[in-house]
Amino acid sequence: MKNYLKEYFKLLRFAKAYRGILALAGLCMGISTLFEGATLGMIVPLSDRILTNKQIVIPGKLPPFLSIIVDKLNAVEPLVFLKFIIIFVPVLFLLKGIFTFLQDYLMNLVGQGVVQDVRNNLYGKFQDLSMEFYGRKRTGELMARVTNDVGIITNAISYALKDLIFESMKVAFFAFVTFYIGFKISWQLPLVAFVIFPCIMFPVIKIGKKIKKFSLEIQKKVADLNSLMAETIQGAQIVKAFCREDYERERFKEINRHYYKFTLKSAKRMLILSPFTEFVGVLGAVTILWIVGNEVISGRLSFGIIGAFLAFLMSMIRPFKKLSNVYAINQQALTASARIYDILEEEPQVKEREGASEIKDLNQEITFKDVEFKYGDDDEFTLGKINLEAKKGEVIALVGHSGAGKSTLVGLIPRFYDPQKGSICIDGVNIKKFKIKELRSLVAVVSQDIVLFNSTIRDNIAYGKEKAQEAEIIEAAKKAHAYEFIMNIPEKFDAVVGDRGFRLSGGEKQRIAIARAILKNSPILILDEATSHLDSVSEKLIKEALYILMKGKTSFIIAHRLSTVQQADKVVVFDKGKIVEVGTHQTLLRADSLYKKLYDLQFSI
């Protein structure tokens, strides 16, 4: 229970910014509870004084203020009463309606505000988190957090929290009145209530726990569904190429079936709660009716009082039913909230130090000193004891078998990941000491997997430079040899490239990515297989453009086609995460080297 409350308060923290509105909503709830009580109380004069034209009789001694009221009511003419009630009752209902609307609206205001905030916070957090996080999580799972889980939380805040406050107020107020009248009538009445209450609450809590368990499963399945969809939509072509449509259909069906199963199980338990509480409530009510019925028949109690008593008692059933749902909804929301907090409390692996220093340019060199790196909790290091120096203006070529760790190494320079051991320094200062944004602005990357955003070609080229001039964009496109094909598209620079740049060929995408890097014009350049998708003619043209671009810049180029790396100042040969050879194209080719083997292999084909 203590844990439950702790988790629940943590959930409510999402609505912290809306305390003022919540308080106002609470006030409206209090007022509408009072109005509802007043409308129920009208039963007493209505049935005793008007419908039966008798006196109001309450057994036992009343406090002075109540007996004065009862005496006054008994003295008023029934006809006067009738006129009064005809005006007063609609006014009461109208006021109750206004306050009910207000409280509902205010709670929705809070709920929708929370959705907006939590979505923004989550998305903002995604932007802050490091590559390491994206390596661990699936896209679909993250999407489920922003869509599904946030929705569940809103439900808990807009509706369940409202019910919790409003219905509890009603229960408290009505219970007070019922008990008060109940004690006056007979000591047995409150006793009956004491027996009923635990009978209702025990199963409610028990079932609530079960629902929490199912909701965990359901949310897992939603994440699975999302992931599978994201994968197969992105990989639609692969699915078709390998004729795996039926397999994918079955895989989806299987997860969907599990989702269905758990949702039904959860729904069954949630739905059973209401009829159950109602039934137990009715059992209590008939017992009470038996007790008070005898009192009325014997004339010790007027009909109006018993009417009001029963009305207050019955009015508690609905709030109780709603409260039992609150528990179930909250159980679902708590799991959703825990998953959202998991992300919000996630620390980015790559962090900026406090008081990080500025870096505006690379003046001398980049050095790797005894750098060791592994992804996640792998046992083996992906990179081992890397020592490397790149002087300003040098072109460093990284070559080696696939999976040797070339992309991993260059990814350490803009701190996509931090190495576990050793240090990387720019001009003698560890890059961890710099402001991350400034460090990254020094590096332009053309990565191995090219990502174009769903936007125009112009926006895609200008992605790395805010407020780029049109002329600069055109110049970058020309340098990357992209201008010609862009001009052949009817919409030219305004052409929207679809999801993941679907409408462009691999080589075209690559040229856009190169133009993007050219426009960014950073002192450090990383080209990871930047010409791999190009035919030999385009490659030759772009290679020349790239070498012009690389002038005065410190560049790291990774290329499987060794013809690209021949002009590099330094060729670094990788094998299984280690540097095995360093030299120039000429010196390495002369020796009995891995480089020569790679070279021979390529040119003998």
Ligand X SMILES: Nc1ncnc2c1ncn2[C@@H]1O[C@H](COP(=O)(O)OP(=O)(O)OP(=O)(O)O)[C@@H](O)[C@H]1O
Binding positions for Mg ion, rule: CB under 5 A: 407, 448
* Helical spans, DSSP H, in 443-560: 457-461, 470-479, 483-488, 506-520, 536-550
- Residue 604 binds ligand X, judged by CB under 6 A: no
- Residue 405 binds ligand X, judged by CB under 6 A: yes
Q: Considering CB distances under 5 to 8 angstroms, the limit depending on partner class, which of Mg ion, ligand X, none binds residue 403?
A: ligand X
Q: Please, which residue, 134 or 202, has the CB nearer to ligand X?
A: 134
Q: Which residues contact 476 (CB under 8 A, 6 or more apart)?
A: 461, 515, 516, 518, 519
- Residue 375 binds ligand X, judged by CB under 6 A: yes
Q: Considering CB distances under 5 to 8 angstroms, the limit depending on partner class, which of ligand X, Mg ion, none binds residue 405?
A: ligand X
For residues 383 and 577, the answer to whether their CB atoms sit within 8 Å is yes
Q: How many CB atoms within 10 Å of residue 311? A: 18
For residues 373 and 412, the answer to whether their CB atoms sit within 8 Å is yes
The closest of 406, 405, 318, 393 to 555, measured between CA atoms, is 393
CA distance 90 to 68: 26
Scan residues 475-534 and list those touching ligand X (CB under 6 A). none
Q: Which residues contact 369 (CB under 8 A, 6 or more apart)?
A: 387, 422, 423, 424, 425
Closest residue by beta carbon to Mg ion: 407
The closest of 449, 447, 376, 474 to 417, measured between CA atoms, is 376
Q: Rounded to the nearest 5 degrees, what angle is found at the Cα of 477, between the Cα atoms of 472 and 480?
A: 125
Place of tokens 């930047």: 530
φ, ψ for residue 41, nearest 5 deg: -60, -25
The distance of closest approach from Cβ of residue 402 to ligand X in the complex, given in angstroms and rounded to an integer, is 3
The distance of closest approach from Cβ of residue 130 to ligand X in the complex, given in angstroms and rounded to an integer, is 11
Q: Please, which residue, 295 or 418, has the CB nearer to ligand X?
A: 418
The distance of closest approach from Cβ of residue 407 to ligand X in the complex, given in angstroms and rounded to an integer, is 3
Pick the binder of ligand X from 33, 331, 408, 554 (CB under 6 A): 408
The closest of 251, 168, 558, 540 to 396, measured between CA atoms, is 558
Q: Considering CB distances under 5 to 8 angstroms, the limit depending on partner class, which of ligand X, Mg ion, none binds residue 135?
A: ligand X
Pick the binder of ligand X from 127, 298, 402, 586 (CB under 6 A): 402
H or E segment to which residue 529 belongs: none
Please choose, out of 145-153, 332-340, 406-414, 466-474, the segment that lies near ligand X by the rule CB under 6 A: 406-414
- Residue 407 binds ligand X, judged by CB under 6 A: yes
Q: Please, which residue, 108 or 447, has the CB nearer to Mg ion?
A: 447
The distance of closest approach from Cβ of residue 599 to Mg ion in the complex, given in angstroms and rounded to an integer, is 19
Q: Considering CB distances under 5 to 8 angstroms, the limit depending on partner class, which of ligand X, Mg ion, none binds residue 113?
A: none
H or E segment to which residue 312 belongs: helix 303-315
Q: Considering CB distances under 5 to 8 angstroms, the limit depending on partner class, which of ligand X, Mg ion, none binds residue 538?
A: none
Give me the DSSP letters along 268-293. HHHHHHHHHHHHHHHHHHHHHHHHHH
Q: Which residues contact 542 (CB under 8 A, 6 or more apart)?
A: 480, 481, 511, 514, 530, 531, 534
Over the window 422 to 451, marking each residue x when it contacts ligand X by CB under 6 A and - when it does not, the resulting string is --------------------------x---
Please choose, out of 220-228, 402-410, 477-485, 504-512, the segment that lies near ligand X by the rule CB under 6 A: 402-410
Q: Please, which residue, 287 or 448, has the CB nearer to Mg ion?
A: 448
CA distance 266 to 207: 9
Number of shown-chain residues binding ligand X (CB under 6 A): 12
Q: Please, which residue, 407 or 593, has the CB nearer to Mg ion?
A: 407
- Residue 563 binds ligand X, judged by CB under 6 A: no
Over the window 117 to 136, marking each residue x when it contacts ligand X by CB under 6 A and - when it does not, the resulting string is ------------------x-
Contacts with ligand X, residue ranges (CB under 6 A): 135, 375, 382, 400, 402-408, 448
